[in-house]
């Protein structure tokens, strides 16, 4: 099962559209570090620049200042969890059909791709990638047939199942679409006379754009000239916004789904403090993900907050391996405890989630070696027990420690004196409209299940290696 | 009008197929320096590596020794004369349809692409490149429809017009195809238990493979297991092999179309010496292209051969510009005359062709400055007066000096005391089967003309900039 | 005036000395990001690898696993504040004289180099760099003259003035030296049978080495075979350890000068809270430098701690500029406030220092725009009013805002409702042995002044451009 | 024994001195492909750019157009035959002493460096490289001592033994020096108001500079302002110009030592044809080195010239290895015979020299496999039996096939039907002033022998690996 993290950015009617897109992606770099791309439209020609690597690796001044002409731009950043990290799969996805060029940038994951592919291949379609975007483009092309673009897009949306927030650039239009459940975030803003769209509002802040609103589930927004038209695609369905964006994935200074991430995380920490009271010398986060829940926990519990584990800011991606006898090296190289803070202390650690538990286990072991007297952990989300089919990668279900272990077993595995997770109820209390969120990773109640899913994955094995 | 120089290589049933393909491309590097690609098949998975640059820039030991698994491989090198030199257009072209992966490497130029594209787009096809290969793949996919691959390929061949030598890797088959006129070269060889295919036999020599034969015009060769089957595609048409491969493009140590290039070039020089007798102090080539005709000319005329212009072997592609006042710098940096050989001499220069005439003019001017008494030039092909639509780029017709100038005018432009071109008849006498060759660039007698051609080009302008 | 930040690492008697040095430098990367180098000794040959860039950019597996043989290694990382950031100046500095090779890695800044250079040049010495290390090597060579290495080093130390912590690898010896005032840190540790030396103990933690002690001011430690000998160089002088290592420069998880940096910083925050009481909605740091003092301040004041400004973890060094009209862009791209936390709040910001004040000013301005009601700042060190000659760069005196402005003027410049600095007395109360520290940047009481210093710098202008 | 090939270029009084130096080095790239450097002087500051690789790899437009200011420049290219190919050893060598900066570029090889080094080290000198240039600079510095530069240089020249052509840039002077025997070439030219100096005149041709004369052995030329002064250094000694520059090393379009290389090589071929008459189907060179002697041989013998071995112009330096079973691959990849020319022919091959004989042997074997009936070889220089100490690398004596084998044994080893070398007398007849040349590699009559030489080398082993 292919999974992708992605970030989107679009801008309409700006004299430096490519440059704005560059910064809009740059601010969202945490959403995908593997490839980046920008496509621009100048009223008659479409241009693209895509590449592997971080945003500053892919674009240079020549691209932004000279080559990527036009006042409409769509950008995309991507991190793939499959091996298929080829330039071939970088987005936006650019095609030509019906005499025009179109570019599509997509965040999310479709769940009926195999079935749709087979149907299209039977009709003579050829595929060059494993991107959902390519599939989507094939559908639009089939449905369009000389007709109306918006209608063709709506028909294609009706055909696919799954999570998709998308930006589509076609001739003079910039179209933003969110699937009927609204799994992945996408917001609209404004700067000067330009409209901007982004997965997270931290992109707006960097560009000094003003936040307007979140795109609605099932909404298709068509921007053309000075006009923004809102259409509805297909039947309305219950909102199922990804709660994990709030718990972990989005930047704390962003708004997603209309919520401020920072506030939600702090609130989760506060609720957690009430749910699982504990004494201790101080509250400390595992950096950086646990910081905001730990702040909330400290406020609520009255315990002092300490930043007792220090992050190495220079840890990059390519890395020389240590010699054999350095145990837990990869843990140690990223964060290092302040020894004097740990010895003989009763530690209360707050983290935002536990996926496999192995990294946390090795950190806890290190704290024991440094003389911690007791180690208690509080986690600001419920146990993650089910895989996500809509774009968040917790690896396959077999690796989720909470899938087959109860809380006591997990505490024992990690080496904790006590462990408490935030309850589903507590989590619901930490957001404004709890019914609007997908919590399938905690509950297993999927809004829709992927084709042929029975606990094992099929498509990935077949295509991952070859492309 | 898009034009591409390309080189092909294929190998079937070799334990180090990727490595052999690497060297097979390496030996043919003169056929394309812009991008390179290899696709391999290991019986169940297909793998590719493509990139911009020379063959050694694109592949490393890891690719050849580890990643590109399989005992079947197809390789491609490309030089594009349009601006569209993107990785997107690098070949072999890899697609998935009908449940299998196929890779196509193509040398030549189709002439009815616009028409075919429009037809396909009307049926819902989407295009991601301007490659002829993509078009070909769309056609195969349409015709296949669950049926027989060879038949679908044959139908696709019947649909396209133009020049194409191709290698197609599909499941366990390696298929070689040459268009009915047989414009571009492709030969079959054998090394150990493996079959090899290459545009030029210099690739066989490097691999110590044995030359078997040239693929016939209109032939489809299907290699599967130990079996090689020859099919015929469509109606037979008159052979129209590209004479310019023999005159200039192929390596002199290669065989193409069954002819030894070296022998042909020397023979052209000999015939030229008979056609246009002249006295002189010595015969000298413009390096390196004129060397072999000059050798033949010297033999026939009895005049001594001199290598009086020295080539700088380190001239590469990226180059810093000199200051403004260095005239004719780009000429001088590539070759430098031996001054002592030039002063007061009657020079007889042999070159293989004149396209625009500007470089030759600047070289002749330099020789005058060094004190040459007389400068006579003999050219080992007839005047190039017409553009090529089948894969050789002489730029557009307007830039061919012989298109609008007679021999005297050209001699005057270049600054020569006399100039003679090889006659058509002389050229025909220099090859074994003169009726089998396309000489349209000299005669304007095209075997087939491109769609809507009326002296101006249409497709290029539209798509070159955007992709 | 040339200034350098540097980090040192040495290891004696380890089978993977180069690899350990790599990680020892890696952990100290914050001490210098411009160049890195490692020299190894295998008992008969000396080998080096140096380069520009971060530690992972300079070394690869081949260097560490194969080329840098030997069980003794010295490593160095450097950041130069002059323009002379050439590979030529990268360290360790490797020379040959008296029939042996020696390598020197140096942290600090000598203040009588001009005078010494002139003296040496008059005797026929030639200089290839502007490194203090080269100067030191010339002196050692002059004094050695076939004699004893340790004596020659001691004589050289007696001749130079200024700050220097050094590691010298010569034949089978690894020698660690600290100048008599002990300006810059250097500590000794042990892992297995190996001795390790590092500027900061975070390097020991990564290697799981045990901290033994800080090298004493005026101490020369000679490691040879299993033996560690301590010598004293020259007359004892008062300890003058750099207080700024504790305030800002060192990593919070390190020990330097025997003090735990984290504890000192938190203590400064606590003292500051007592010195400059203030109410407010919460305490927030400017990330990341103010975090630890802010934590202490929050504990002492009882006000809640908030991490209300979010750092972009992907901000790198090379960066495309925004268009003209994005004001304060460079501030905004690094950190972004959480808007919902700021509006209508009375903010209490803690930072560790103010140098020029311009960045802080632009951050404060942003907070005002977001609707902060009041903004109060507390700084965990006294006003920096004087330049440092011993290796910390505050730029030239003219740019230190506190050099010519009093606290009210600074508050007005930055746009604060109130501003308080930690007092000298408060700072002294935050460390164990306040008399052992150099606080010249606050007081102007220099332990020693540079040659000819009268408020203007001389050497830099002359040599910076050329090398 | 360290050996270096090098090329020099200098220019005085040119507004684009750095750019001219770039092209002056570019034209001489065959003299050294390992590192390149340019130093410029603008009347008050000296600037340098050096790097590993070919000239276009080391310099970019920014260096030439902006950074390397000044109207005097000295450039150097280098190829080292030792392993010490570090940037550290790249030239020009730039130092500071006596209050000024000096840059030295050196071609040749000193033979008493060990002795001089020891003497200097005993006086306290430190060495950072194994360059002869550094040694030379130390000597100049010692002798100068506040006095006259020219005198100090002359004294330094009197102290060193060996081969050296040098360019020294010091303040406003550009000084050219050739050792008393005049081993290595260096010529003076003029372009506009500028003086130029180069190892080979092909550099002048590219810059359209006019050749003036060869620097004399034992001459020191001082260029300052509009003035060129010629001094003599030390006692006159017999001219001993390197004959191998004419035979092989210099470009055929260059003049060196006042001789035109092309004419000399052709003459060697002619004399060889007279000395060792033989019949054959044709004369062919081994490309490219044998071409010019082969042309002369063909003229004199009346046999036809054929270019029957084709060189691959794309063979670069980094290269993937073939699989194990491809014998003689490295030979085959560089040149490939034209098969049709070889079969059943009596070949007469002309080459310029035989060093180890192994490459030629593998080429001859290939020709036998292709069906050559007889293979005769003529070599345009005498057998190379002795190593060179003055800057030409034939590897150590043990590897020179002619050192321990007579002509019959060599012919047998290579697999030839006959083999003849040019005689010493024949070689002397091919140049204008035969007494002015060093022919020690053929005769063993060294103008001066290196310190402690007794058939084995000493310095190299000690230092090569470490630096």
Is residue D437 assigned to a domain? Answer: no
Same domain, B36 and B107: yes
Model confidence band, residue D319 (pLDDT cutoffs 50, 70, 90): low
Residue B361 has pLDDT above 60, yes or no: yes
**D contacts of C48 (beta carbons < 8 Å):** 467
Model confidence band, residue B199 (pLDDT cutoffs 50, 70, 90): very high
Same domain, B369 and B430: yes
Nearest CA in chain B to D20: B322
Model confidence band, residue C456 (pLDDT cutoffs 50, 70, 90): very low
Q: Is residue B54 within 8 angstroms of chain D, CB to CB? A: yes
Model confidence band, residue B145 (pLDDT cutoffs 50, 70, 90): confident
- B387-406 per-position pLDDT tens digit: 888 888 775 556 899 999 99
Identity of the residue in C16, C262, C326 whose CB atom sits nearest the CB atom of A208: C326
pLDDT at position D232: 94
Residue C273 has pLDDT above 60, yes or no: yes
Q: 3-class secondary structure for A240-277?
A: CEEHHHHHHHCCCCCEECCEEHHHHHHHHHHHHHHHCC
Enter the pTM of the model: 0.87
Whether D16 sits inside 8 A of B323 (CB atoms) is: yes
Same domain, C295 and C199: no
Of A120-129, A314-323, C71-80, C422-431, highest mean pLDDT? C422-431
Residue C465 has pLDDT above 50, yes or no: no
Chains A+C touching (3+ CB pairs under 8 Å):
yes
pLDDT at position D395: 59
Q: Which of A75-89, B385-399, C317-331, C453-467 has the lowest mean pLDDT?
A: C453-467
Q: Is residue C432 within 8 angstroms of chain A, CB to CB? A: no
CA D57 to each of CA B60, B255, D20, D52: distance values in angstroms, whole numbers, following the listed order = 20, 36, 16, 8
CA B310, CA D254: separation in Å to the nearest integer? 10
Is residue B234 assigned to a domain? Answer: yes
Which are the contacts of B387, defined by CB distance < 8 A and separation ≥ 6?
B1, B394, B395, B396, B397, B400, B441
More confident residue, C109 or A467: C109
Residue B457 has pLDDT above 60, yes or no: no
Q: How do beta strands A173-178 and A162-170 pair?
A: antiparallel
Residue B344 has pLDDT above 90, yes or no: yes
Same domain, C228 and C285: no
Describe the crossing of helices C261-275 and C291-301 by its angle, rounded to 10 degrees: 50
Same domain, C377 and C288: yes
pLDDT at position C397: 53
Model confidence band, residue D83 (pLDDT cutoffs 50, 70, 90): very low
pLDDT at position C453: 58
Average pLDDT over residues A295-312: 95
Same domain, B274 and B405: yes
pLDDT at position D316: 66
Nearest Cα to Cα of residue C175 among C391, C5, C7, C10: C10
Burial B273-303 (b: 16+ CB within 10 A, else e): beebebebbbbbbbbbbbbbbbbbbbbbbeb
Identity of the residue in B47, B125, B145 whose CB atom sits nearest the CB atom of A141: B125
Long-range contact pairs involving C423-426 (C-beta distance under 8 Å, separation at least 24): C423/C275, C423/C382, C424/C382, C426/C268, C426/C271, C426/C272, C426/C275
Burial D69-99 (b: 16+ CB within 10 A, else e): bbbbbbbbbbbbbbebbbebbbbbbbbbbbe
Q: Which tokens sit at A157?
A: 């949306």
Range of the domain at D211: 4-240
CA C107, CA C128: separation in Å to the nearest integer? 19
**C contacts of D463 (beta carbons < 8 Å):** 96
More confident residue, B123 or B456: B123
Distance from CA of C121 to the nearest CA of D (A): 5
Model confidence band, residue A184 (pLDDT cutoffs 50, 70, 90): very high
CA C230, CA C220: separation in Å to the nearest integer? 6
Q: Is residue D340 within 8 angstroms of chain B, CB to CB? A: yes
Segments in D349-421 forming alpha helices (H):
358-369, 401-404, 407-414
Residue B49 has pLDDT above 90, yes or no: yes
The CATH number of residue A309's host domain is 3.40.50.2020
Is residue A246 assigned to a domain? Answer: no
Q: Is residue C466 within 8 angstroms of chain D, CB to CB? A: yes
pLDDT at position A462: 30
Model confidence band, residue A461 (pLDDT cutoffs 50, 70, 90): very low
- Name the DSSP letter for residue D404: H
- Name the DSSP letter for residue D59: -
In chain C, count H helices and then E strands: 18, 23
Interface of C with A in 219-248 (CB under 8 A): none
Q: How do beta strands C227-232 and D335-337 pair?
A: unpaired
Distance from CA of D248 to the nearest CA of B (A): 14
Interface with D, mutate which of B11, B59, B189, B205 (most D CBs under 10 A): B205
Average pLDDT value over all residues in chain C: 89
Residues in chain C: 467
Nearest Cα to Cα of residue C353 among C321, C317, C377, C329: C377
Whether A322 sits inside 8 A of C23 (CB atoms) is: yes
- A56-67 per-position pLDDT tens digit: 999 999 999 999
- Chains touching chain A through at least 3 C-beta pairs below 8 angstroms are B, C
Model confidence band, residue B455 (pLDDT cutoffs 50, 70, 90): very low
CA B37, CA B90: separation in Å to the nearest integer? 7
pLDDT at position A379: 98
Q: Which of C207, C240, C273 is the last residue of a domain?
A: C240
Give yes or no for a contact between D294 and D380, defined as CB atoms under 8 angstroms apart: no
Is residue B92 assigned to a domain? Answer: yes
Same domain, A213 and A342: no
What are the percentages of helix, strand and coil residues in chain C, rounded to 5? Answer: 35, 25, 40
Same domain, A293 and A229: no
Interface of D with B in 347-376 (CB under 8 A): none
CA B206, CA B20: separation in Å to the nearest integer? 10
Q: What is the ipTM of this complex?
A: 0.90
- C227-246 per-position pLDDT tens digit: 999 999 988 899 999 999 99
Q: Which of A240, A274, A289 is the last residue of a domain?
A: A240
Model confidence band, residue A324 (pLDDT cutoffs 50, 70, 90): low
Average pLDDT over residues D220-247: 94
Q: Which of A38-52, B22-36, C162-176, C311-325 has the lowest mean pLDDT?
A: C311-325
Identity of the residue in A202, A307, A312 whose CB atom sits nearest the CB atom of C292: A307
Model confidence band, residue B241 (pLDDT cutoffs 50, 70, 90): very high
The CATH number of residue C138's host domain is 3.60.20.10
C242 is catalytic: no
Average pLDDT value over all residues in chain D: 89
Is residue D160 assigned to a domain? Answer: yes
Whether C126 sits inside 8 A of D465 (CB atoms) is: no
Query: What percent of chain B shows pLDDT beyond 70?
Result: 92
Residue C278 has pLDDT above 90, yes or no: no
> What's the longest Cα–Cα distance across chain A?
74
SS3 at position C322: coil
CA D425, CA A119: separation in Å to the nearest integer? 85
Average pLDDT over residues D309-329: 74
Is residue C319 assigned to a domain? Answer: no
The active-site residue out of C6, C381, C388, C441 is C6
Same domain, B217 and B265: no
Residue D364 has pLDDT above 60, yes or no: yes
Residue B460 has pLDDT above 70, yes or no: no
Same domain, C149 and C284: no
The active-site residue out of A6, A202, A242, A438 is A6
Taking the CA atoms of chain D, what radius of gyration do you get in angstroms?
23
Is residue B248 assigned to a domain? Answer: no
Distance from CA of A142 to the nearest CA of C (A): 41
Interface with B, mutate which of A92, A93, A100, A124 (most B CBs under 10 A): A124
Is residue A148 assigned to a domain? Answer: yes
Q: Which tokens sit at B37?
A: 């690609």
Residue C67 has pLDDT above 60, yes or no: yes
Q: Is residue A305 within 8 angstroms of chain C, CB to CB? A: yes
Q: Which of B107-111, B319-323, D90-94, D440-444 has the lowest mean pLDDT?
A: B319-323
Nearest Cα to Cα of residue A366 among A331, A340, A413: A331
Average pLDDT value over all residues in chain A: 89
Identity of the residue in C46, C98, C99 whose CB atom sits nearest the CB atom of D466: C46
- D265-312 per-position pLDDT tens digit: 999 999 999 998 889 999 999 988 899 999 999 999 999 999 999 988
Model confidence band, residue B40 (pLDDT cutoffs 50, 70, 90): very high
Give yes or no for a contact between D23 and D191, defined as CB atoms under 8 angstroms apart: no
More confident residue, C397 or D31: D31
The active-site residue out of B6, B157, B388, B441 is B6
Same domain, C306 and C207: no
Model confidence band, residue C2 (pLDDT cutoffs 50, 70, 90): very low
Residue B85 has pLDDT above 70, yes or no: no
Handedness of CA A106, A112, A114, A120 (dihedral sign): negative
Distance from CA of A446 to the nearest CA of C (A): 32
**A contacts of C207 (beta carbons < 8 Å):** 326
Domains in chain A: how many in total? 2
> Looking at the DSSP assignment, which residues form a beta bridge with residue C224?
C227
Distance from CA of B336 to the nearest CA of D (A): 7
Whether D295 sits inside 8 A of B316 (CB atoms) is: no
Q: Which tokens sit at B311?
A: 């080539």
Q: 3-class secondary structure for A11-36?
A: EECCCCHHHHHHHHHHCCHHHCCCEE
- Cite the beta strand spans of A89-214 per DSSP E: 93-97, 100-110, 162-170, 173-178, 187-191, 194-198, 210-214
Residue C182 has pLDDT above 50, yes or no: yes
Q: Is residue C44 within 8 angstroms of chain D, CB to CB? A: no
Distance from CA of A127 to the nearest CA of B (A): 5
More confident residue, B451 or A279: A279
pLDDT at position B234: 80
Q: Is residue D151 within 8 angstroms of chain C, CB to CB? A: no
pLDDT at position D367: 96
Distance from CA of B52 to the nearest CA of A (A): 13
Whether D95 sits inside 8 A of C125 (CB atoms) is: no
Whether D288 sits inside 8 A of B333 (CB atoms) is: no
Average pLDDT over residues B91-120: 91
Cis bond before residue C68 (omega within 30° of 0): no
Q: Is residue A205 within 8 angstroms of chain C, CB to CB? A: yes
pLDDT at position B453: 58
**Cα C13 from chain centroid (whole Å):** 27
pLDDT at position D219: 97
Between the two ends of chain D, the Cα-to-Cα distance in Å is: 14
Please give the full DSSP string across C325-340, using - where no structure is assigned. Answer: T-TTHHHHHHEEE-HH
Residue C249 has pLDDT above 60, yes or no: yes
Residue A463 has pLDDT above 70, yes or no: no
Q: Is residue D105 within 8 angstroms of chain B, CB to CB? A: no
Element (H, E) at A152: helix A149-159
Residue A281 has pLDDT above 50, yes or no: yes
pLDDT at position B424: 98
Same domain, C271 and C159: no
pLDDT at position B461: 31
Model confidence band, residue C131 (pLDDT cutoffs 50, 70, 90): confident
Whether B46 sits inside 8 A of A466 (CB atoms) is: yes
């Amino acid at each position: 099962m292919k999974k992708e993290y992605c970030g989107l950015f679009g801008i309409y009617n700006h004299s430096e559209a490519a440059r704005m897109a560059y910064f809009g992606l740059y601010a969202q770099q945490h959403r995908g570090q593997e490839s980046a791309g920008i496509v621009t439209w100048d009223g008659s020609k479409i241009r693209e620049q895509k590449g592997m690597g971080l945003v500053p690796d892919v674009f240079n001044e020549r691209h932004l200042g000279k080559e990527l002409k036009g006042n409409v731009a769509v950008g995309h950043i991507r991190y793939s969890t499959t091996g298929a990290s080829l330039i071939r799969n970088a987005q936006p996805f650019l095609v030509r059909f019906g005499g025009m060029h179109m570019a599509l940038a997509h965040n999310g994951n479709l769940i009926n791709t195999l079935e749709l592919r087979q149907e299209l291949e039977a009709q003579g379609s050829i595929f060059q990638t494993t991107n959902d975007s390519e599939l989507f483009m094939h559908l639009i092309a089939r449905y369009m047939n000389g007709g109306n673009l918006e209608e063709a897009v709506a028909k294609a949306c009706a055909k696919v199942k799954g999570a998709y927030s998308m930006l589509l650039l076609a001739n003079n239009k910039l179209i933003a679409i969110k699937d009927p459940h609204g799994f992945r975030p996408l917001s609209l803003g404004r700067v000067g006379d330009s409209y901007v769209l982004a997965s997270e509002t931290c992109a707006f802040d960097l560009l000094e754009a003003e936040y307007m609103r979140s795109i609605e589930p099932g909404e298709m927004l068509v921007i053309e000239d000075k006009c923004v038209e809102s259409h509805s695609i297909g039947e309305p369905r219950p909102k199922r916004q990804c709660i994990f964006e709030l718990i972990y994935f989005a930047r704390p200074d962003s708004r997603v789904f209309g919520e401020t991430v920072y506030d939600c995380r702090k609130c989760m920490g506060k609720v957690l403090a009430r749910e699982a009271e504990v004494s201790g010398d101080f509250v400390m986060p595992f950096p950086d993900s646990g910081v905001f829940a730990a702040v909330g926990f400290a406020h609520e519990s009255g315990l002092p907050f300490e930043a007792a584990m220090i992050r190495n800011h220079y840890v990059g991606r390519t890395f020389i391996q240590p010699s054999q006898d350095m145990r837990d090296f990869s843990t140690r190289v990223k964060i290092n405890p302040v020894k004097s803070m740990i010895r003989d202390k009763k530690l209360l650690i707050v983290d935002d989630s536990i996926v496999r538990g192995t990294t946390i286990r090795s950190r806890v072991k290190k704290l024991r070696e440094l003389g911690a007297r007791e180690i208690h952990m509080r986690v600001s989300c419920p146990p993650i027990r089910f895989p996500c089919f809509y774009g968040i990668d917790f690896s396959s279900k077999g690796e989720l420690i909470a899938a087959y272990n109860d809380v006591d077993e997990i505490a024992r595995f990690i080496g904790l004196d006590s462990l408490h997770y935030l309850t589903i109820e507590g989590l619901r209390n930490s957001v404004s409209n709890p019914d609007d969120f997908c919590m399938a990773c905690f509950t297993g109640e999927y809004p829709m299940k992927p084709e042929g899913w029975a606990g094992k994955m099929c498509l990935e094995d077949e295509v991952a290696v070859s492309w």
